[in-house]
Each structure stands twice: as C-alpha cells, then as structure tokens.
Amino acid sequence: MKKTAILAGTVITALALVGCGKSEEELTLGQRADTNIAQAEQSMRDMGQEARQGMERAGEAIGEQVERAGDAIGDAAISAQVNAALAKDPQLSALDIDVDTTAGRVKLSGTAPTPEARDRATQLAASVSGVQSVDNLLQVETRQQ
C-alpha cells in the first residue's frame, strides 16, 4: 500500500507538471521537496487509516472470542451447579446423570430410579441460575428383583 501511495503521488505530480507546462527538471529544489512531503503525508494518512481499520477488526475479533469464552465458562458453571443440586437430592444419583449445557440449555441424560425422581431432576436443573431450558432425556431405571 505504501508503494502504491507513493506511485500515485508521483503520477499526480507528473500530471500536474505536464498540465502547467513544467517538466520535473524545471522544478526548484523547494518545489520538489514540497511534492515529496505532500506524498509522504498522504502515505502516512493512508497507513494510519489502514491501521485504524485493522485495529477495529482485531478489536471485534477479540470481543467475539471473549464472548464465546464467557459463554463456555457460564455453561460450565451451570453444569457444575446442576450436578451439585442433583448430588444433594437423596432420590437421585449424580453419578447416573450426565449434564451437558450449551448456551444455557441443559440436557440431562442417564437414568433415574423413578418417574418422580426424573421429574425432580428437571425441577432441580431448572432452578439453577442461568438455565434457559431443560431437556430431560433421563430413562427410568427398571430394576429386576
């Protein structure tokens, strides 16, 4: 981009010189210096604009990554809290129930000893802060005696 800006500045200067009837050799040292300074200033403005745009894109990308990481941490915390609630319940075994959380949506899978315990697992999961919904896939265990 820097080379392009300098080339564009040189072309513009040459066209301006042709338009006013002077060749580059006829310019004074001061005029040449002014032309070079103008080109350098334009190049710096162009590079500054490119840098700002790059920083904006980088900032947006970082923001998205932070948001995703925050979601993952939030989901892990929800899963941990649901597991803790299940472990405290005397009718349920947290070892028999898998808890997966994505975007606040909790999925329970595994087994429950009774239909009532299965329903209780849904209630416990739903009571955890941050839970958006509960998908209870628990199977009622059929015990053979």
User: Per-residue pLDDT tens for 116-141?
Assistant: 999 999 999 999 988 999 999 999 98
Please tell me whether residue 68 adopts helix, strand or coil conformation: helix
Beta bridge partners of 134: 106
Q: Does domain 67-140 have CATH number 3.30.1340?
A: yes
Whole-number pLDDT of residue 137? 95
List the domain boundaries for the chain: 2-66, 67-140
For the whole model, what pTM was predicted?
0.53
Terminal alpha carbon distance of the chain: 80
Whole-number pLDDT of residue 31? 80
User: Per-residue pLDDT tens for 93-123?
Assistant: 777 899 999 989 999 999 999 999 999 999 9
Distances (CA, A) of 46 to 41, 55, 58, 76: 9, 14, 18, 45
